[in-house]
Amino acid sequence: MPKKPQIPQRQARMKEVAVRARVSPMSVSRALRSPDQVSAETLRRVQKAVREIGYVPNRLAGGLKAPTRTQLAAAIVPSVRNSLFAATLQGLTDALRKKGISLMLGDSGYSDTDEETLIAAFLAHRPCGLTLHGTTHTAGARRLLQKSGIPVIETGNLTERPVDLVVSYSNFDAAKAMTEYLLRRGYRRVAFVGLPVAGNERVRERRRGYYAALAAAEISRDDALVLETVGGVENGARTLLQLMEIQPEVNAIFFAGDVLAIGAMMECARRGWDVPKRVAIAGFDDWEISRQFATPITTLDIPRYRIGERAAELMLRRLDGDKGKIAPIDVGFRIIERQST
Amino acid sequence: MPKKPQIPQRQARMKEVAVRARVSPMSVSRALRSPDQVSAETLRRVQKAVREIGYVPNRLAGGLKAPTRTQLAAAIVPSVRNSLFAATLQGLTDALRKKGISLMLGDSGYSDTDEETLIAAFLAHRPCGLTLHGTTHTAGARRLLQKSGIPVIETGNLTERPVDLVVSYSNFDAAKAMTEYLLRRGYRRVAFVGLPVAGNERVRERRRGYYAALAAAEISRDDALVLETVGGVENGARTLLQLMEIQPEVNAIFFAGDVLAIGAMMECARRGWDVPKRVAIAGFDDWEISRQFATPITTLDIPRYRIGERAAELMLRRLDGDKGKIAPIDVGFRIIERQST
DNA sequence: TTGTACGCGTTATCAG
DNA sequence: CTGATAACGCGTACAA
């Protein structure tokens, strides 16, 4: 059986385009990157040759020569499977694509040391910008980022000591506002359920916000009303039951993590408990499901997509030469009042 | 105000590591890439120098010379916000990271022409592999992929005419199996609700599977029982109501898309309809929420994470030199029987 | 085991 | 507006 002749699998080079278009490689480069700097005739011939050959520029070579324009950015999120981060990623890619910038994506698994490893791996590809979720990093990570010289955007929390740029909402303010809202509605025994605080400053800030609201209302803390649990719908259900059993007099529960509120609401549905009469339930981050319950869930709207968009904008500003200090951007939040409270 | 002296923001080069370690750049290169090919002493000195300088290798330069080992792969999904694809991405990144390969991510928005644009943009970075979801592509995209010479993995459907490699489950088989299961359970008037078929071969295959199961059971199709809707929880609810109104005698509804079944189930909960007595509900893809309802939803488990893992494996096999034809990999599926049917 | 010479494909620079 | 030339930082091939 005669083998098909192996076509030499090598991408065409700019030089070949140049030969075909009867111009120098330099003119090809210019025609592709700044079309208004070449004559109409040159442009036409280059475009024709590019089409005919099926030329795909080699950004490795370009980036080697012009390190600030690799047309490649990077983002690291704690988990690609979490739809909250997905929304931010969408905002990022949408905004970057308009400028022809591709995105490398990494998943730190909520681990700072894995984050550092990823940062190093990404920097090896010389991205022209890097977005991180969270504002706590290893010392090594900070060193890498600073030496890199590229714009670094931190999201997920407003921090006092940013590496470079910050785009986020305030976890503290948001949790405080929601707690105050619950207190205003007349709930006096308000519980707080969040993810484990250890090593996660976003969660810690939310709990601080909850405490601050209590203090402002001159209600003393009750540690029995503050629970930690890992994520997952079923853990929302579990902590709800736990609270109702140990602290039957609880009026309202503020679930400050992911899908916990949804899990709790489903548990109430299973048991036929009336929400908010028996217990009020509030969430954090407006999931699509939250509004679909017979009793829709009161929650916080965080503009996740917008965070990605703004992050891209800041990055591009830096790449456009703005070397000045850029103040942290607070994208804000909004309480969505529904029937569960 | 005296300015801080600007530290020259340039990443260290291999040469500088070499000087510091008192070896040639070549030895540094080797020490980093294949540590077992250099003497223990050289290795030690290189590692020390790397640490001290904070050297981050430049993969642009490396990839330029060795195009098959850019240590960068690419993936394009229809939507980063869809958790199903997120699971596959997780499988991909997890497997690739073990080999030090980073991942570029793109979002085609379910558009074949946008997919082509993305492919071109990605190829410019000379990835050493590319994963696509879906098996329909523009002619231009196919041409780009073939010329690229890199391993291309298609997922999301088993196709007859793959570009290169395929890792997926069979939409046809899965939908057929679920429909047969419903018929076996005694439901005779089984409706099918899917996403719009136009331009989406996965959806088309699912509907074909549904039809095939009906045919095998010698039940004639009823077009009034087949609905299309775009994604979203609320559309699941809407189509449920639509069906119940126009076709009150419907026994069971097979929702073959995303969150539709969940939306329908929530609508039943709101109206106090008994599932499965009044109507049985089956889904496609086991979401975390699906099992949390008072009546948990019968659904199909598709090993989404595994698809990503296997895709990475195939890619690596190709990169390891396996140029032969590799048969499509069918990762299968599983019916998860719960109380909603 | 280590080092030397050269080239990978593009762009900055500067001269025409 | 266009072209010649010299890097960019690393890996391959070969020689020592």
H helix or E strand, kind and range, residue A62: helix A59-65
pLDDT in tens, B155-181: 999 988 999 999 999 999 999 999 999
Judge whether residue A39 contacts strand D, using its CB and a 7 Å cut-off.
yes
**Between the CA of A17 and the C1' of D3, what is the distance in angstroms?**
15
B221-249 per-position pLDDT tens digit: 999 999 999 999 999 999 999 999 999 99
Q: Determine what percent of chain B falls in helix, strand and coil, rounding each to the nearest 5.
A: 45, 15, 40
Q: Which nucleotide is nearest to B69 (CA to C1')?
A: D11
pLDDT, position B10: 77
Please answer yes or no on whether B80 and A63 come within 8 Å at the CB atom: no
Residues of A (161-180) placing their beta carbon closer than 7 angstroms to any atom of strand D are none
Q: What is the pLDDT of residue B322?
A: 83
Give the pLDDT band (50/70/90) at residue A5.
very low
Q: Which residue has the higher pLDDT, B22 or B10?
A: B22
How is A249-300 classified by DSSP, letter by letter?
T--EEEE-STTHHHHHHHHHHHHT--TTTT-EEE-SS--TGGGGSSSPPBEE
The rounded mean pLDDT for chain B is: 93
Q: How far is the CA of B66 from the C1' of D12 (A)?
A: 9
Residue B323 confidence class, pLDDT cut points 50, 70, 90: confident
CB pairs under 8 A between A and B: 176
Which of the nucleotides lies closest to A65 (Cα–C1')?
A: D8
Query: Using one digit for the tens of pLDDT, what is the confidence trace for A318-328?
Result: 998 888 889 99
Q: What is the mean pLDDT of chain A?
A: 94
- Average pLDDT, integer, range A114-137: 96
| Structure confidence by residue, pLDDT tens digits, A199-224 | 899 999 999 999 999 999 999 999 99
Q: A262-298 pLDDT, tens per residue?
A: 999 999 999 999 999 999 999 999 999 999 999 999 9
Q: Which residue is nearest to nucleotide C6 (CA to C1')?
A: B65
Q: What pLDDT, on the 0 to 100 scale, is given for residue A9?
A: 61
Residue B9's pLDDT is 61
Give buried/exposed letters for A227-251 (b at 16+ CB in 10 A, else e).
bbbebebbbbbbbbeebbeeeeebb
Report whether B45 contacts B23 (CB < 8 A): yes
Is residue A8 over pLDDT 90?
Answer: no
Q: What is the CA radius of gyration of chain B?
A: 26
Chain B residues 147 to 206 with C-beta below 7 Å from nucleic strand D: none
pLDDT single digits (tens) A26-83: 999 999 999 999 999 999 999 999 999 999 999 999 999 998 899 999 999 999 999 9
In whole angstroms, what is the distance from residue A284 CA to residue A195 CA? 12
pLDDT at A313 over 70: yes
Q: Is B88 on the interface with A (CB under 8 A)?
A: no
Which pLDDT value is given to residue A10?
77
Q: Is residue A58's beta carbon less than 7 angstroms from any atom in nucleic acid strand C?
A: yes
Residues 6+ apart with CB under 8 A from A228: A193, A194, A195, A196, A197
